[in-house]
Chain A
Amino acid sequence: MTSRLTIPNSSQLPPAEDAGNVGRLERVLRSGQFAVTAELAPPDSADPQEVHARAQLFAGHVDAMNATDGSGANCHMSSVAMCALLAREGHETVMQISCRDRNRIAIQGDVLGAAALGIRNLLCLTGDGVQVGDHPEAKPVFDLDSLSLLDIVAGLRDKHAFASGRTLTSAPQVFLGAAANPFAPPFAFRPHRLAKKIAAGAQFIQTQYCFDLPRFQDFMHRARDLGLLEKCFILPGVGPLASARTAEWIRRHVPGVHIPDDVLKRLKGARDQKAEGRDICIEMIQQLREIEGVSGVHIMAHRQEAFVPEIIQRAGILGARMPWTPEPRPPPFSVNRQPVSDSVTFQEATTE
């Protein structure tokens, strides 16, 4: 039933060899460029236009968009459907899979379907408990946990087999992600849990919101000492706080998000709290970028999605690079943002 922790060497990070079979997010990460992903909130709607309108905000600014899977245990359009709609337009998406709502039979079927629909990246999550969402009376499934989910999906891809052992005729070529929360206890266990996730198949990591830099640095130092930084790409999560009141609300009601007192104090003291929230976010991105082993950032701008391009721009993390966009359009900012040759190749690759 168990396997001792061995971190496979195959998850070391050489440049992707088979570029034709590799998604854009993976290629950006493997090429050593600073990657940007952003969280796309799914609509409470059956209208595909709402999905496209939301994605339009991010197009040309991010390397991949995460479509959440019933985040906060609230009902929304499904992640697989959102990603499929976006993949049809050529967008790079990260499909989030939570273990809360589906068992191993449903999830494995979804993974095959997702790959068939052109989805390249999966983020394997445990998921929030049902009690925090809009259907607290629902049955929590949790047939798998994030680690056994990673292990099963890696098996689909690498062993060409379901968890039952039954073989596939064609394996899903997916880039496997997992989450980490360095900001919740037990702190000393968190780097070991990261090691377990890598051993189970995680290739990239997106973290919970980072507002506490020293805590994150400590986590990264421990991860480095365990030799994990060469074995996965780490994208810390960031996001703008809308106001001091929002920050206080998050502190009280969102488990796992840690906002230190000095961040709250700074917001309270600001004349324009919303702008200050963005400034804090931009400074955080710039500081995170300097940390060894940080391969990019994951921006979660809940209800402030429209500010994401500005945050990325002002943080200066893309340099002259412009991520792929369905329709090349004039840069929205005065700064020189020329598509680099790499991005052009990506564009061609997907239109083949």
Chain B
Amino acid sequence: MYSIRLWAARHARLLELTYQAVEPVIIKLQPLWKSVGYARAEKPVARLEQACKGLLFDCQMCGQCILSSTGMSCSMNCPKHLRNGPCGGVMQNGNCEVEPDTRCVWVEAWEGSQRMKDSDAIQIVQLPVDHRLQGTSSWLRVARQAAERRESLK
């Protein structure tokens, strides 16, 4: 919902802390994901993720979440799907040129990022979206990647 989405970016620090608490749990559950199988876990986890992030951020389930780098304002809600910052068409009142009645996702993102502890994460250059991941769970991917990193260090 639009108003909750705005609330999320305006409480980016709180949500950053929340995610920092949740992420280790998801990673710790690695044995569970492994025994269930990532493929089988995918559907229910993706559904849960969509429910949470859909409510808070109007999440579009791109499957490669970068909310921590976008001030907790989901950049996939930008009509141009910009993942690296605002286009040149932002109106003087900070609204979107395509949807003039809504705030520019990136105006919110910048303000959100400045409230976060890792306020420089917005300066990361984001590579293009992998469209094959649409609809899949970012959380599971984070868990899997963390496990793979641990494996490779062994």
Contact = CB atoms under 8 A, between A and B. Distances in A.
A191 B8 CA distance: 25
Main secondary structure of the interface of B (DSSP, over half): loop
Contacts of B80: 99-100, 126-127, 129, 140, 142, 145
A146 interface: yes
B15 interface: no
Contacts of B104: 185-186
A351 B111 CA distance: 53
B94 A185 contact: yes
Interface stretch (B31-39, B49-57, B83-91): B83-91
B133 to A, nearest CB: 10
Interface in B77-119: 79-94, 97-98, 104, 106-107, 110-111
A144 interface: yes
A255 B82 contact: no
Contacts of B120: 5
Given A152-B128, A200-B125, A256 B84 contact: no
A147 B126 CA distance: 8
A100 B125 CA distance: 20
Nearest to A188: B110
A181 B128 CA distance: 22
B69 A2 contact: yes
Interface in A90-131: 99-100, 104, 126-129, 131
Interface string A1-34: 1111100000000000000000000000000000
B119 to A, nearest CB: 11
Interface in A182-237: 184-186, 188-189, 192-193, 195-196, 199-200, 208
B88 A181 contact: yes
A193 B97 contact: no
Contact of B85 (A132, A144, A193, A256): A193
A297 interface: no
B122 interface: yes
Given A5-B125, A147-B125, A129 B98 contact: yes
A196 B89 contact: no
Given A185-B107, A186-B107, A192-B122, A208 B88 contact: yes
A132 B97 contact: yes
A313 interface: no
Size band of the interface chain B makes with A:
35 or more
A258 interface: yes
Contact of A1 (B84, B88, B91, B127): B127
A65 B91 CA distance: 28
A272 interface: no
A189 B83 contact: no
A41 interface: no
Contacts of A145: 80-84, 128
Nearest to B94: A185
Contacts of B82: 126, 142, 145
A199 B90 contact: no
B81 A186 contact: no
Given A132-B97, A142-B80, A148 B89 contact: no
* Interface size range on A against B: 35 or more
Nearest to B66: A2
B60 interface: no
A143 interface: yes
B30 interface: no
A5 B107 CA distance: 20
B123 A196 contact: yes
Most interface-central of A140, A146, A193 (chain B CB within 10 A): A193
Contact of B110 (A126, A181, A186, A256): A186
B90 A256 contact: yes
Nearest to B69: A2
A140 B79 contact: yes
A179 interface: yes
A163 interface: yes
A67 to B, nearest CB: 19
A143 B97 contact: no
B153 interface: no
Interface of B: 64, 66, 69, 79-94, 97-98, 104, 106-107, 110-111, 120, 122-131
Given A143-B131, A145-B83, A199-B125, 6 more contacts: A3-B127, A5-B123, A5-B125, A142-B81, A143-B128, A192-B122
